[in-house]
Structure 1
Amino acid sequence: MSDHVLSLNHVDIYQQENLILKDVNLSIKKGEFVYLIGKTGSGKSSLMKTLYGDIPLKKGEGTIVEHNLSTLKERDIPYLRRKLGVVFQDFKLLTDRTIKDNLKFVLKATGWKKKAEMEEKIDQVLDKVGMKTTGFKYPHELSGGEQQRIAIARALLNDPELIIADEPTGNLDPQTSVEIMEVLQQINKNGNTILMATHDYALLLKYPSKTLKCDGGEVFEVVQKTL
């Protein structure tokens, strides 16, 4: 068993025929909190999509949560995503059902069967993000920050080995962004590994951690003093 949840060696990342990032080498260990920064269009999202199987890996070696990205088949993607928790900028909650039913939908889709176990898991993840009393509400009844907390709870449902958060504070005001970061920090302290793409340099300064940067078609680690 490796202590790395993610390892990329000499990886080129393409969007269709366009080379977006070249010769990417990076690794993330269990328990780390890693930022991914870079301007819009620098390749952050393409890298993220490659990691959760939305963009196929055509060149190089990549392993994520014990799945080989270079040989990943369409049918393997649901199994890969069960080991990943993905948090999006725009929450992606289903607006026609309650918070509890949003979470139940994910559990059913990933093979959970027993009602009591599902209820217990839902209570557990809502409690982790400080939203235990909101299960009966609909997404539109919650603020942006509350919806993002629910999105984080959803990402925790299958006890993921790695949480990929793509600009999780992108649509939130500064105060709410800090609250969401506190939630992510706490989850990281509890042992979850997190890779977070962000534009928000204020958060990086407030919560310093290992930082990777996409720039000029490359990905490299940066020391925070040089941001």
Structure 2
Amino acid sequence: MSQPVLFLRNANIYQEKNLVLSNVNVEVNSGEFIYLIGKTGSGKSSFMKTLYADLPLTEGEGSIVDFDLASLKEKNIPYLRRKIGIVFQDFKLLPDRTITANLEFVLKATGWTDKQEIQLKIDEVLDKVAMKSKALKMPHQLSGGEQQRIAIARALLNDPELILADEPTGNLDPQTSAEVLQLLREINQNGKTIIMATHDYALLMKFPSKTLKCDDSMIFEVVQRTT
């Protein structure tokens, strides 16, 4: 049995001094697609932030892509983040530069130096999200759905073992949301492990998958009713 991509055991998750989620026991294996649901304020974002080490894990055990979260040193956080891709609700594209320059910025920041390799990688990820024709556009020239596709391309740049998508359809209309989710599902079918936080229950019904729920300071698996 291969080592899980992520596990938390008896973990308590805090936002500053407030206990947000208690006694968290979660295991995610390679290749899974998992939804994380729950009301606003139920702890979804705190859970995600713990995974990419924005919040420290101070109580309990945790490991993500072979990094021990409980003993993770600040200087190692950038190395952890290279092995996971993060997709945010609000795209987080740099508004003053083209799509290519946005992606180039990330690659250079994570140690890429060869110009030709950088360009090849940018072409590859834009191809995966069907956005190669938009490479020289500025972010404001793209629709919300197109910007989110670029954000997904950015998350793929360093070939992550795990993608964390935090409300990736939160700012999109239903049609575009479905297209973005379809894209994430395709990336998952090509072997990437994905955890997606969402409050869009229509998407869950349309594309059912393993679901974790944050509620009442707990996190637990829910079985979706299929009609």
- 1:190 counterpart residue number: 190
Residue 206, structure 1, aligned to residue 206, structure 2 = yes
Distance 2:225 2:190 in 1: 27
Distance 2:19 2:9 in 1: 16
RMSD: 0.9
Question: How is 1:18-167 mapped onto 2 (pairs within 5 angstroms)?
Answer: 18-167=18-167
SS at match of 1:165: strand
Residues 16-74 of structure 1: CA deviation (Å, up to 9, x unaligned): 11000000000100000000000000000000000001000000000000000000111
Distance 2:36 2:84 in 1: 17
Deviation at 1:225, TM superposition (A): 1.3
Deviation at 1:3, TM superposition (A): 3.5
Distance 1:204 1:118 in 2: 36
Normalising by structure 1, report the TM-score. Answer: 0.98
SS at match of 1:86: strand
Distance 1:166 1:145 in 2: 15
Distance 1:2 1:79 in 2: 22
Deviation at 1:2, TM superposition (A): 3.5
Counterpart of 1:171 in structure 2: which amino acid? N
Counterpart of 2:69 in structure 1: which amino acid? L
Distance 1:101 1:3 in 2: 36
Distance 2:49 2:42 in 1: 13
Deviation at 1:222, TM superposition (A): 0.1
Q: Gaps spanning 5+ residues in structure 2: where?
A: none
Residue 171, structure 1, aligned to residue 158, structure 2 = no
Distance 1:11 1:170 in 2: 27
Distance 1:16 1:120 in 2: 42
Distance 1:42 1:32 in 2: 23
Normalising by structure 2, report the TM-score. Answer: 0.98
Distance 1:185 1:3 in 2: 23
Counterpart of 1:79 in structure 2: which amino acid? Y
Q: Gaps spanning 5+ residues in structure 1: where?
A: none
